[in-house]
Structure 1
Amino acid sequence: MTRNDVLTYIRTLHGHQRHDQLVALRSLFTCAKRNGLIFRNPTSRIKVGQYEYAVLQPLVPEQVDRLVATAATPATRLILAFVAVHAARVASRMLDDVDLGNRRLTIAGRVRPLDDLTRKLLLDWLEHRRRRWRNTAHLRLLINNQTAAKTSRASNHWISAAMRGQDATRERLRVGRQREEALTHGPDPLRLGEVFGLDEKTAMCYADSARQLLLASPREPPPAELSVKPNRVQ
């Protein structure tokens, strides 16, 4: 096994899984070399904190369509719009983040225009919220039966319920939207950081991924679009 073999393997892992696997491999090969079982440790020049990011691959339309088909409630449809259209983390959204009159939305401290789809889904959700929890004083935009009478935010488990078991997860949709921005307007990490409130390292990762995709496939078709029918649910 060579260093490149190890790098190829760990590129398929992320977060704690990558960290734990690499620590285990380093320990295994260090022990093997110490006991004369191998001549060279293939992990000796690979730092645990070092990660060479893989190219972020887009979701295909069929994966998005399957997810949209499960969006059966006003809350779920709004969650999909926030993630797929605005790349927003929805659990922390407040009522004050929404300015329907001026068609503006505040995300990560940045004010952006409110598109027609998100506006319709917001109106549906706010009407449902008003009817379902008429006396709630909760300041968060998204609430449920467990949080309506409290001040706590809705759990990630509840927010991700409709996406469970789907290829198009909340994180993949959010990353896909950021990737789409980089492909459409150019792989500029400064722009990505400004639009989405990303830290420097994350913005550079998405920009590098988009740059590699553009070089590999300059005529790549546009990414799958979200189209959530904003019907009212009683």
Structure 2
Amino acid sequence: MHTGDARIRPRSDTTLYVYLGAVQPILESWATTRKRLREITRKDVHAAVEALRGRRLSNTVTALKSLFRFATKRRRIFTNPTTQLHPGAHPYPERLPLDEVTLKTTASAAVTPVLRLIVALAAIHAARPQAIRQLTLDDIDLPNRRIILDGLARPLDELTHDALRDYLTERRQRWPHTANPHVLLSRLTAGGVEPVSTYYLKQHLLVRHYVRLDDLRADRVLEEALSRGPDPLHLVL
């Protein structure tokens, strides 16, 4: 699944990580009473997912269907027990403040200049992943402590200022001759002018540390709403 072939497109590391996390408990449970995937029935599959709800249900069903579809194409099984299984639509999850464990995980994840910068932009400035990717050198004014995110100028706090300074120092040392105007660079974008990919952000946080930028941003927006009231104009700014 990771490398793909002529009949199956390769899956990204992020997709495989999510799929494995969804199906591993189910596979371990089946392994106590079954020896092969071909022994799994449609009834077993429905029993494994019947208690799940929302996004967890959707992710698990998608992962199971992908697994059994792959096994069918490789002739490891003869009947696909997930053919009538559908993930269905799920509502947007309720947003709650991040718990202490997640906050500690986030803090421990920010161990490099690029990680500290990404976390600071999402957690302090509630920057969307696209805004982080599209941030350019012209959007930053370190001497006057200003930054432009999503077209809006805002003050630059001490933590983000230091994170930017440290990352830009590393950036100059690693790619001294790059003409790319974007702040974040990778080995794939340093030779061009395009921003880093969405996967670049996920690779640094979701895959390695299981920290989601959307959760960090939502936590910051929720904190503002709880402290200043749900003023839409203020939250947008």
Aligned to 2:78: none
Aligned to 1:170: 213
Aligned to 2:139: 97
Of residues 123, 131, 134 in structure 1, which corresponds to 2:176?
134
Q: Gaps (5+ residues) in structure 2? A: 1-50, 63-87
Aligned to 1:83: 122
Structure 1 segment 171-210 matched on structure 2, within 5 A: 171-193=214-236, 195=237
The alpha-carbon deviation at position 54 of structure 1 amounts to 5.0
Give the AA of the match of 2:230. P
Question: How far, CA to CA, are the matches of 1:128 and 1:64 in structure 2?
Answer: 26
Question: How far, CA to CA, are the matches of 1:163 and 1:80 in structure 2?
Answer: 9
- Aligned residues, how many? 156
Q: Gaps (5+ residues) in structure 1? A: 1-8, 22-47, 196-234
Please, what TM-score do these two structures have when normalized by structure 2? 0.59
The alpha-carbon deviation at position 52 of structure 1 amounts to 6.6
Aligned to 2:148: 106
* Residue 11 to residue 182, structure 1, CA distance change in 2 (3 Å): farther
Structure 1 segment 46-85 matched on structure 2, within 5 A: 55-85=94-124
* Residue 138 to residue 167, structure 1, CA distance change in 2 (3 Å): closer
Query: Percent identity of the aligned residues?
Result: 36
Contact 1:59/1:168 (8 A) holds in 2 = no
Question: How far, CA to CA, are the matches of 2:99 and 2:223 in structure 1?
Answer: 13
The alpha-carbon deviation at position 181 of structure 1 amounts to 1.0
SS of the residue 2:147 aligns to: strand
Question: How far, CA to CA, are the matches of 2:55 and 2:188 in structure 1?
Answer: 35
Show structure 1 runs of 4+ deviating over 3 A: 51-55, 165-168
Give the AA of the match of 1:153. P
SS of the residue 1:112 aligns to: strand
* Residue 99 to residue 182, structure 1, CA distance change in 2 (3 Å): same
Give the AA of the match of 2:99. V
Contact 2:185/2:196 (8 A) holds in 1 = yes
Question: How far, CA to CA, are the matches of 1:76 and 1:13 in structure 2?
Answer: 27
* Residue 69 to residue 53, structure 1, CA distance change in 2 (3 Å): closer
The alpha-carbon deviation at position 76 of structure 1 amounts to 1.1
Compute the RMSD of aligned alpha carbons: 2.6
The alpha-carbon deviation at position 179 of structure 1 amounts to 1.0
The alpha-carbon deviation at position 93 of structure 1 amounts to 0.7
Contact 2:134/2:182 (8 A) holds in 1 = yes
SS of the residue 2:177 aligns to: coil
Of residues 171, 181, 193 in structure 2, which corresponds to 1:151?
193
Aligned to 2:77: none
The alpha-carbon deviation at position 158 of structure 1 amounts to 1.7
Post-superposition CA distance 1:56-89 (Å, at most 9, x none): 1111122121122122221111011111111113
Contact 2:54/2:91 (8 A) holds in 1 = no
Structure with the larger RCO, 1 or 2 (CA within 8 Å, 6+ apart): 1
* Residue 160 to residue 52, structure 1, CA distance change in 2 (3 Å): closer
